[in-house]
A and B are shown apart, each in its own frame.
Chain A
Amino acid sequence: MVRAHIVLKGPAGGATSGKPVSSQNVQGYVADLSERERVRNTLEKLGFSICRVSPLSITVEAPVDTFETVFRARLKQVDLGQQRPGKQKADQAQDLRRQRLWTWSEVPLIPPEMSDAVDTVVFPQPTRRMTQ
């Protein structure tokens, strides 16, 4: 199962559109309640499990092929072990092996029934704890 965030559009567009976001303008990226529900219902019909609906995005889970079918783009899994530069430290190496990174191989296409309300689909990126 893959987890992703469906980024919603507010009056100012989607938070991932590339414009600077701050506390001063973030409300412009908050989606209307009715739109959130509409997108949620559409996603459920398309086969996604809804984990959480929030002002900026909807978190979903689904098998890889559901993402690829609905958004008409292929996913690929990135091997974080090879991506990691520098010397391996034991706990960070274990951490990276645990974090699975997915990414799109091509630009995803938002289905027409939600394209006015959805900006894009993003996948979690790897983090590091600031101990070492």
Chain B
Amino acid sequence: MKNQSLNRLTAYVSVRSIGKTSVFAEKAVRDHNHVQEFMSEPKDKHLVCGKLQDMGFEIERVSPLSVRISGPAKLFRKHMGLQFARKTGGVAPICVPTDETAAKLMDTSIREIEGIAFPQPVELHGPPRKSPRGGVSPTPPSLGYHHLKVPSDVVRLLNARPVHREGFNGQNVRAAMIDSGFHWSHPYFVSKSYNVKVSLPLDSDEDANGHGTGESANLLAIAPKVRLHGLVMDDIIEAFEVARDDLGVQIISNSWGSRFPTDGPNGTWDPYWSLVQAQIALCVQQGIIVLFSGGNGGMSFTASMPETISVGGVFVDENGQKMASNYASSFDSTRFPGQHVPEVCGLVGVQPRAIYIALPIPLGCEIDRNLGGRRFPNKDETGKRDGWGVFSGTSAACPQAAGVVALILSKHPGADLAEVRQRLNQAADITEGESSMGDRAGPGYDAATGHGLVNAEQACA
């Protein structure tokens, strides 16, 4: 069975049995001679399946002794009053009802149901399973090409060290990232004792893709004492609502955009994006600083909205030379005339795949498997199952800038969007290179890099 998560829990339902006793009752099943008593009439099973489906559960399997169902934790909470916690100590972490609600297992609103049970942790009775190469390392593997490490290189190149030395590390600031997931039990994060919590879904440690996990290391490198909430982007509307209405965060970092263009000459629109735009506007109206990745060759309205801060890309080579990243987007908005992307920049690699920053990711996740292997610049030359990947994109730049915003707010707690923008725009001027759209960098503000590479010391002065 797949590991249980709060997004999808599996349970077994005991339908009214011929012997009128649930198979889950303690000591109910004595031996094979009486097991028939725990089977159910087909019409009762059919009735129960219909009622459970109406509640929103999926029927996975109907078998002689039980019906296997699945659904998110909130359905179990709503219809059965169950709360869940993670249990370890077996093969894999598993979600089971808390001790307080376990008593409700035999008490449901469908009278044809005699009981419900959830899988419990098991252990294998064989040779101990060794993690590949003795476990995930808290530090990245050695690599033979120019790349950056977190936190040291990101801190150095964005000039955050002086701010940290002054005592400002993002403390007393609440930030959120909306992304694929957050595997913060990775040894890298654990070794740093970051103040992090996955708030949607609550306490989930899953990140099948690895993007959110890796990119969050950028934000935490710059603002190591920030209180960072991870919100999975299964439902973006819900993520914004939770960040704003439930958590009261001050910063929201978004390393994503619309899949298809929603700005520029090829931009199309769906009313859904109007609702997203309104959600963002409500965040800004309540004083939240919202940052978006500028894009990697595409045009998304999320970056060009007047009230979001768009973050583009600057590459720093092995000699310390800074230039516009040819991987990052730059464009004049057609949806919001007068708006240009990017406003400022973070660190982004270059074509073909922006393999640039070594970031911690879940072992064997999609990024681990897809980027791992030979040879640079098309692969990152890490293992396919080592818990490290080397990547960037404006996905990295946005949380870096968000980290600088956290530093600003920790030193200047009353700063509003206008002041934060003014401070962020005290950036390192970039005069070389061109963006993926061919805009050239030059002295002062330019179309490729906006105000330039964010500079934490200047921003916090």
Q: Which residues of A contact B (CB under 8 A)?
A: 1, 3, 5, 7, 15-18, 21-27, 29-30, 47, 49, 51-52, 54-57, 59, 61, 80, 83-84, 89-91, 94-96, 99, 103, 120, 122-132
CA distance A59 to B245 in the complex (A): 15
A-contact 0/1 string along B286-312, CB 8 Å cutoff: 000000011110100000001100000
Task: Enumerate chain B residues within 8 angstroms of A61, measured Cβ to Cβ.
Answer: 56
Contact segment of B139-147, B190-198, B268-276 = B268-276
Contact segment of B252-260, B402-410, B423-431, B444-452 = B252-260
Residue of chain A at shortest CB distance from B260: A126
A-contact 0/1 string along B350-386, CB 8 Å cutoff: 0001100000000000110010000000000000000
Nearest chain A CB to B397 CB, angstrom units: 8
Residue of chain A at shortest CB distance from B352: A132
Residue of chain A at shortest CB distance from B359: A131
CA distance A122 to B179 in the complex (A): 21
Nearest chain A CB to B203 CB, angstrom units: 19
Task: Enumerate chain B residues within 8 angstroms of A47, measured Cβ to Cβ.
Answer: 54
B366 touches A52 (CB 8 A): no
A51 touches B298 (CB 8 A): no
26 A-B pairs with C-beta separation under 8 A: A1-B56, A5-B237, A7-B275, A16-B272, A16-B275, A23-B284, A23-B285, A24-B285, A51-B235, A55-B245, A56-B282, A83-B260, A90-B370, A91-B366, A95-B209, A120-B271, A127-B258, A128-B259, A129-B255, A130-B293, A130-B295, A130-B395, A131-B211, A131-B396, A132-B296, A132-B353
A26 touches B282 (CB 8 A): yes
Residue B107 at the chain A interface, CB threshold 8 Å? no
Contact of B354 among A59, A126, A132 (CB under 8 A): A132
Task: Enumerate chain B residues within 8 angstroms of A5, measured Cβ to Cβ.
Answer: 237, 272, 275
CA distance A98 to B24 in the complex (A): 35
Which 8 residue pairs are nearest across A and B when measured between Cβ atoms? A15-B278, A130-B293, A126-B259, A23-B285, A26-B281, A23-B284, A16-B271, A130-B395
Q: Which residues of B contact A (CB under 8 A)?
A: 54-56, 58, 74-75, 78, 179-180, 209, 211, 215, 233, 235-238, 241, 245, 255-260, 270-275, 277-279, 281-282, 284-285, 293-296, 298, 306-307, 353-354, 366-367, 370, 391-396, 398
B256 touches A128 (CB 8 A): yes
B237 touches A23 (CB 8 A): no
Nearest chain A CB to B358 CB, angstrom units: 14
Q: A51-B238, A127-B258 are in contact. Are A29 and B245 (CB under 8 A)?
A: no
CA distance A90 to B210 in the complex (A): 13
Among B271, B285, B391: residue with most chain A CB under 10 A: B271
Task: Enumerate chain B residues within 8 angstroms of A120, measured Cβ to Cβ.
Answer: 271
Task: Enumerate chain A residues within 8 angstroms of B277, measured Cβ to Cβ.
Answer: 15, 21
Task: Enumerate chain A residues within 8 angstroms of B393, measured Cβ to Cβ.
Answer: 129-132
Contact of A91 among B278, B295, B367 (CB under 8 A): B367
Q: A56-B282, A91-B209, A91-B370 are in contact. Are A23 and B255 (CB under 8 A)?
A: no
Contact of B279 among A56, A125, A126, A127 (CB under 8 A): A56
CA distance A47 to B53 in the complex (A): 12
Among B179, B245, B281, B294: residue with most chain A CB under 10 A: B281
B257 touches A130 (CB 8 A): yes
Residue of chain A at shortest CB distance from B370: A90
CA distance A109 to B49 in the complex (A): 31
Nearest chain A CB to B254 CB, angstrom units: 9
